[in-house]
Structures are given as structure tokens and as C-alpha cells.
Amino acid sequence: MLPHHHSEFEVIAVVCGQCEVTIDQVHYTAGDGDLLFIPPYSLHSGHILPGKSFSHFCFCFDLTLLKEDGLCKQIETGYLDVVRVVRHSAPGAAALFGAAQCIYHQCEGRPRGWDLVVRGQLLFLVGLLEQYEYFFSAIRKDARCDFSARVFDLLNRTYAADLTSRDIAAQMSYSQSYFCRLFRENFSASFQQYLCQFRLCKAKLLLTQENLTVGQTAARVGFNSSSYFSRQFRLLYGCTPKQFQTAKALSNKFSEYYLGSSVSVRSQ
């Protein structure tokens, strides 16, 4: 998976096996019972180690769900950071893993009152991170993180336009060649490669949210050709946009809540 980032706080829980994750240019390995915490706008990517079995669950949530404005602002602006990996043997790890499991299963099963339970467990999880001192002050932000955040902000506002690296470079007051070099260093891909994946991620969300045709979705996210859009979608996700849309319509467990509160759950 190409490096990416988003505005939600992400939690990854490793059930068994091992994986390697890169967060803001730092490499981590996580194994059985470990938890990974990825704050908003942190550039991250990951892969499973070759020949190893691996099982995990993860979810993203919008910090506004906590209704703790001060805390949210500190985390989103980078003044309050979080330990990236909490090992299974670390203090509070069992309780943190239990809270993450509860959130996942509540979102999966959606029993009566599940949204209230999820909100409560999110507060409990964040409270544990504070109680066991897994949050820490980070007054100075790394220049690379700042570059990535600025690029992401610009892409998020302009991805549907007819966009080139020259356009973004100009908005950031860089020469095109210098911008492209910095971009590849930070994102491990060319600008056009990343822009294509960025648009496909937006399209995937649209296909679950709105009653749009494949052609309308392609145009909405910036593709001029629906056939090219479909080819690229299949390369990235292993199915056509129409197949994905049909499958989601038949089994749509999480998108409704994602729309309402920016909580989503993924498992593998």
C-alpha cells in the first residue's frame, strides 16, 4: 500500500502474526497482542511479512466524537503526540486491547445502543492512553511531517480539479523539480501515482455513500475517462467499481455510521 494519511485517529490491533508499519518515516514491527496508534495526518503505510500468517482488526474515528475540544485540538495540531506501538506486555495493554475489541465488535454487530457503547469505549481507550502516559508533549513538529500535512491539505481541497505537480508546487512556493523530489522522498511515489490513488480512495467512499453511476463517480473525483478509472480501480482494489458498489449494497455494515460519525472498521 502506498503511504497515505487521513484526518481520523487510527487504531490497529494485531491478533496474531507480524506486520511492518511505517509512520512518519519511522519503521515499526508489531506482533501478537500489540497495538498501533496513528494520529491524524500522520503519513503511514504497512505490509505483512512474507510467508507469515497475519490477522488484525482496526478502526478510525473522528476525534470530535470524544467531545473534548481541547484534547482534540492538541492532537490534531501535533502538540500532543501518542506512542506509536504499545506492546502486549506493556502497562495497560490488556485493557487497551479489550477496549479496542469492544469497539470493533460493537460496530460489527450493531446491537441496540451500540453507538453509545462505542463512544464510551473510545473515551475509555483515550483515557487509558492518558492514564498510562502514552500521550506526550511534542512541541516541535518535524519538517517532513509539515510538508506531508500541507500537501495532503491541498490535495484534499483540489483533488477533483485538473491537477499537476506544477500546480501544487506553485501553491507551496516550490519549483516543480524540487517539489517532485521532496514528494517522492516523503510519499515513496510520484505525484501522479499518489494523486491517482488518492482519487480512487475518494471514489471508493463515494460508491458506498451516494447513488452515483461509475461514470459520475469518476468525474466527481477528477478522472476524465471512466474506462481508465475502472482499470485503475481494479488494479488497486481487485474488483471493478461496479462490483464493489454491488457488494456494498448487499452487505453494508459500516458505511452508514461512518457517514454519521466518522467511525469505520476494517478487518483482515
Domain assignment of residue 76, yes or no: yes
pLDDT at residue 268, as a whole number: 42
pLDDT at residue 1, as a whole number: 60
**Listed residue (34, 42, 28) closest to 14, CA to CA:** 34
pLDDT at residue 144, as a whole number: 61
Number of structural domains the chain divides into? 2
pLDDT at residue 241, as a whole number: 92
Which CATH number covers residue 136? 2.60.120.280
Domain assignment of residue 238, yes or no: yes
Same domain, 123 and 23: yes
**Cα within 13 Å of Cα(106), Cβ side:** 20
Domain assignment of residue 24, yes or no: yes
Same domain, 108 and 41: yes
pLDDT at residue 181, as a whole number: 92
pLDDT at residue 255, as a whole number: 34
Domain assignment of residue 15, yes or no: yes
Domain assignment of residue 267, yes or no: no
Q: Which three cell numbers stand for residue 256?
A: 452508514
pLDDT at residue 259, as a whole number: 28
Same domain, 110 and 162: no
Asked if 13 contacts 56 with a C-beta cutoff of 8 angstroms, the reply is yes
Q: Which of 120, 140, 160 is the last residue of a domain?
A: 140
pLDDT at residue 247, as a whole number: 76
Same domain, 131 and 147: no
Domain assignment of residue 255, yes or no: no
**Listed residue (84, 81, 121) closest to 101, CA to CA:** 121
**Listed residue (35, 67, 33, 25) closest to 261, CA to CA:** 67
Domain assignment of residue 268, yes or no: no
**Chunked in runs of 10, what are the mean pLDDT values of the chain (268 residues)?**
76 92 88 94 78 84 88 81 96 97 91 93 96 84 69 88 94 93 85 90 82 92 95 88 78 36 37
**Listed residue (76, 92, 170) closest to 132, CA to CA:** 92
Collapsing DSSP states into helix, strand and coil, what is residue 56? strand
Same domain, 152 and 136: no
Same domain, 200 and 130: no
Domain assignment of residue 151, yes or no: yes
Same domain, 134 and 24: yes
Asked if 68 contacts 125 with a C-beta cutoff of 8 angstroms, the reply is no
pLDDT at residue 266, as a whole number: 40
Same domain, 114 and 176: no
Same domain, 160 and 118: no
Same domain, 171 and 83: no
Which residue range(s) make up the domain with 206? 143-250
Same domain, 96 and 170: no
Which CATH number covers residue 178? 1.10.10.60
Collapsing DSSP states into helix, strand and coil, what is residue 28? strand
Same domain, 102 and 222: no
